[in-house]
Amino acid sequence: MPLFCTSLAAKVPLNALVQNRRNNLAANHVGSFSLFLYHSNCRRPSSSPHRTLCLPKCNLTHLSVEIEGPNKLEPVPEKYSKELEVAVRAVHMACLLCQVVQESLVSKGIDQVQSKEDNSPVTVADWSVQATVSWILSKAFGRQNVSIVAEEDVQALSKSNAAGLLEAVVKTVNDCLAEAPHFGLAAPVTSLGTTEVLEAISCCNSTGGPTGKFWVLDPVDGTLGFVRGDQYAVALALIEDGEVVLGVLGCPNYPVNKEWLSYHNGYRRIISKLTPPTSKSWDKGCVFYARKGSGKAWMQPLIYREKRLVWPNSAKQIHVSHIDNPALATFCEPVEKANSSHSYTAGLAHRVGLRNQPLRVYSMVKYAAIARGDAEIFMKFARAGYKEKIWDHAAGVVIIEEAGGVVTDAGGHALDFSKGIYLGGLDRGIIACAGAKLHEKIIEAVDASWNSSSL
């Protein structure tokens, strides 16, 4: 109930004003002081040591004031604001690096692809992005304050026959870091040596867990798409005490118009050559990001060499689709059958009433498609024995949720990022939807059909 006053004198602690979300105020004075509130017709004590606010007759539920004296109030920095800004800048740089390497792989036929122990591909870009992002975070926050969970290690680079590969990684990292001033970051005083690059990669050795703060990086998510000249993503998230608190997703080949996603890869590359993308046209390349609890998700165009990243660079707010009719909805799924059962998702689609053809996309670009409203559903049901890694989902989950969507496992439980490098206690699969209504329908369909599946 509003409190109306004709005369009021009150001692107000500073944090009372800080909590006023409407005014979003905070002092630049370190320490504590008090405020006295007076009606404008009241006399002030001339000897009072406190800051004085002169108020007319007022409704205190809508208090807006100015402070006399030298101690001005400034906007309260939002939690994780610096971390988010640095992360966005770092991912922009990583995307530039990836574009250069992908051009070499696809157009020039340079063979820089290796196979890991699980036969998945890894490229110069994977190691180079990991080293670059690791170096940027360490410089921004101090090496002792940065813990990173990341996908790559230096085992392959340390082999005696990998000298050429390692040399290519070191050159790629230094070429990228030299562009740091364009992205509002400081470049190294001198080029990084081989030892420094290997250390930047290998220090990303955190195993995560339920407590503390750590970054989660997938330097090139969807490497198979990357080497084929198709979709891929650079994914960076920050987790604190088991909860994803911010996520950044760089999608260098993600087009502005969703129709381009269905074009044949070669045709898309030809069109891209004829009409090179620019930051003004937004033809290709976006960075998505969100902070937990903000209720907002954002998209920026990629920054090219002739431009500079000025935060927040006219970022555009994005939101999930409002479509809740299954017959009109589009669903995403992984391209590779080894990563998800296409037959099972096809059965679910039929049961729910989905009529559109699935949008099969490499990498976490699927999360970006839902967050931006280009699709409504993402379903992934891996085959028995496959364990989902946190770096494949962390950044995308928080972006969809802050854009208004829902992401859970197939049991309707929130994804658990507190159990190390793998998602803990995952129930059958992962379901991301633009809204609760579609999400509920998918969950019901999974419950009704799971026992008859071969998963």
- Residue pair 220/132 in contact by the 8 Å Cβ criterion: no
Q: At a CB cut-off of 8 Å and minimum separation 6, what does 286 contact?
A: 250, 251, 254, 256, 299, 300, 301, 302, 368
Q: At a CB cut-off of 8 Å and minimum separation 6, what does 354 contact?
A: 326, 327, 329, 331, 377
Residues in the chain: 455
Q: Does 324 carry a binding-site annotation?
A: no
- Please give the C-alpha separations between residue 340 and each of 149, 231, 334, 360, 428, in angstroms, as whole numbers: 24, 17, 6, 11, 11
Q: Does 388 carry a binding-site annotation?
A: no
Q: Does 175 carry a binding-site annotation?
A: no
Query: Is 223 in the active site?
Result: yes
Active-site position among 123, 132, 223, 330 = 223
Q: Give the Cα-Cα-Cα angle 95, 98, 101 (nearest 5 degrees).
A: 155
Q: Provide the token pair at 89.
A: 């800048």
Q: Give the Cα-Cα-Cα angle 363, 368, 370 (nearest 5 degrees).
A: 115
* Partner residues linked to 224 by β-bridges: none
Query: Is 126 in the active site?
Result: yes
Active-site position among 126, 230, 374, 409 = 126
Q: Provide the token pair at 3.
A: 């409190």
Q: Does 118 carry a binding-site annotation?
A: no
Q: Work out whether strand 58-59 and strand 51-55 pair parallel, antiparallel, or are unpaired.
A: unpaired
Catalytic amino acids? 126, 223
Question: Annotated binding site for Mg(2+): which residue ranges?
Answer: 151, 218, 221, 392
Question: Annotated binding site: which residue ranges?
Answer: 151, 218, 221, 392
